[in-house]
Chains A and B, each alone.
Chain A
């Protein structure tokens, strides 16, 4: 009884976390709205007749209903160009995924803690531990810098174009793929490898017969997922690295050729859907 009373009196008033945060949230929302409504935020422009008229104009130009001269959607030359750029963009994405995949495949092994620290066969060596930190560091650095920033850096060195754009995409995705596959190795079931070593297999043979067969299907799945993301990102990277649909997109925007922009967007849409379907099909095969 005594101890209970003591605890009761000694207890600090507890904060009701959900209720306090809900109140805080409401207060913040009210203050934000007061700021937007009273200030010069351009909110009211959303509700003016001109804005809606302009948006409607823009949309009609985008789908080619209102152009100076023939619409890009009816022009064979425009189509040809758009298709060529689509193929170029597809090539860019495949190149990027290929470079990232090949580089990750060559370096993910030392990035796995159990390999570097010698827990899966092999002795723990200073070289292995150092290689672990170096590769993991490389994975972290390359993936923490966004593709767009890599593109900006690369066009200082390489001339802008498909290769520069592909390289920017590849470097960022290398870090992601490398980390993911190293983690697959860390989570592998150690028993098949242990059984192989007991049957007399050396380190290289264990790698070939136990590690790679277990890792590769997962790796291919990750690579295909990244390919889907890469094709989506090609447009933005193409803006700065001047390659594929992205470059043309930006040019036509600045020349106010909205019907061309619309055509490019359409091609881009088909490209993304096509890659998604191809990736899903290939992933099913890899399983």
Chain B
């Protein structure tokens, strides 16, 4: 089932590991993700999902192994403008600036392309306002342009984060439990929006989440993490309920045996 895609993969992780003190948060994780793929990262709390996504985003550096983005070594990419066009992140917690208006929080997605002077001026006279308006319209918040961000609900704030990502316009979208704080209906709604946005523009989407229903609906592939190790890497249709049970099982966190995942790439 080799992919027909012969360009450089969007993401290639090889033997990636991360250690916090004595705790191995992630050990020898390897996978290849092609452009336009939608990949879900699942696993119990503390499995290393956030660690993995932050490594891919260049927010933290791996202690071992290499990460390539679009054929280029992540370690060689300078943070700021260049990296921000390759990957964009939606965080597990709401990471907007609560005191700024919705408009300014969305426009912040452009900071990687703007110079300091333009950024400063834009606080008083918003630059590229129409682009921000379009993005907010897309996520269904056109009427909240000038609302103070702290007044929005959690779900609305995640939508603002998505709108910011639309302005940042990266090739890969990394989302860390983007729907964890929402009720099931809104979670399904927002995940759908994110998948649609990624699908519409052919972007690669890698997201951690806990709902197997949402995974089956929106993601083509599933990477299971447990205790820092890679338990499986399968098309989401092939993942059985038994595998999920074992992934989330409270017993036997040590001595994890791995399923033989099919090789992608």
Contacts and interface: CB of A to CB of B under 8 A. Distances in A.
Contacts of B85: 200
Contacts of A195: 89, 91, 95-96
Interface in A172-203: 191-192, 194-202
B71 interface: no
Given A191-B93, A195-B95, A200-B113, 6 more contacts: A191-B95, A201-B108, A201-B119, A202-B111, A209-B104, A217-B99
B111 A196 contact: yes
B214 interface: no
A198 B87 CA distance: 9
A210 interface: yes
B82 to A, nearest CB: 8
A194 B95 contact: yes
B264 interface: no
Given A195-B89, A198-B84, A202-B80, A209 B100 contact: yes
B104 A202 contact: no
B114 interface: yes
Interface string B30-58: 00000000000000000000000000011
Interface residues of A, number: 20
Given A205-B114, A205-B119, A213-B100, A198 B108 contact: no
B119 A208 contact: yes
Nearest to B109: A199
A209 B88 contact: no
B83 A200 contact: yes
A199 B108 contact: yes
Contacts of A202: 80, 111, 116
Contacts of B95: 191-192, 194-195
Given A204-B116, A205-B119, A199 B111 contact: yes
| Closest 8 A/B residue pairs (Cβ) | A200-B112, A200-B84, A195-B95, A201-B111, A213-B99, A191-B95, A192-B97, A204-B116
Given A209-B97, A214-B97, A214-B99, A191 B91 contact: yes
A213 B109 CA distance: 17
A199 B119 contact: no
24 contacts: A192-B95, A192-B97, A195-B89, A195-B91, A198-B57, A198-B59, A198-B88, A199-B89, A199-B111, A199-B164, A200-B79, A200-B111, A200-B113, A201-B108, A201-B111, A201-B112, A205-B114, A205-B119, A208-B116, A208-B119, A208-B123, A209-B104, A209-B111, A209-B119
A201 to B, nearest CB: 4
B154 interface: no
A181 to B, nearest CB: 15
A192 B89 CA distance: 12
B97 A199 contact: no
B167 to A, nearest CB: 9
B205 to A, nearest CB: 16
Contacts of B100: 209, 213
A200 B165 CA distance: 11
B83 to A, nearest CB: 7
Contacts of B168: 199-200
Contacts of B123: 208-209
A191 B120 CA distance: 21
A213 B124 CA distance: 13
Given A209-B97, A213-B97, A196 B91 contact: no
Task: Give the most central of B91, B108, B112, B114: most A CB within 10 Å.
Answer: B108
Given A198-B89, A199-B112, A201-B111, A208 B120 contact: yes
A200 B81 contact: yes
Contacts of A213: 97, 99-100
Contacts of A210: 97
Nearest to A215: B99
A51 B57 CA distance: 81
Nearest to B99: A213
A191 B96 CA distance: 8
B116 A199 contact: no
Nearest to B112: A200
Interface string B55-90: 001110000000000000000000111011100110
Interface string B120-153: 1001000000000000000000000000000000
Task: Give the most central of B59, B95, B113: most A CB within 10 Å.
Answer: B95
A210 B83 CA distance: 20
A132 B168 CA distance: 34
Contacts of A201: 80, 108, 111-112, 119
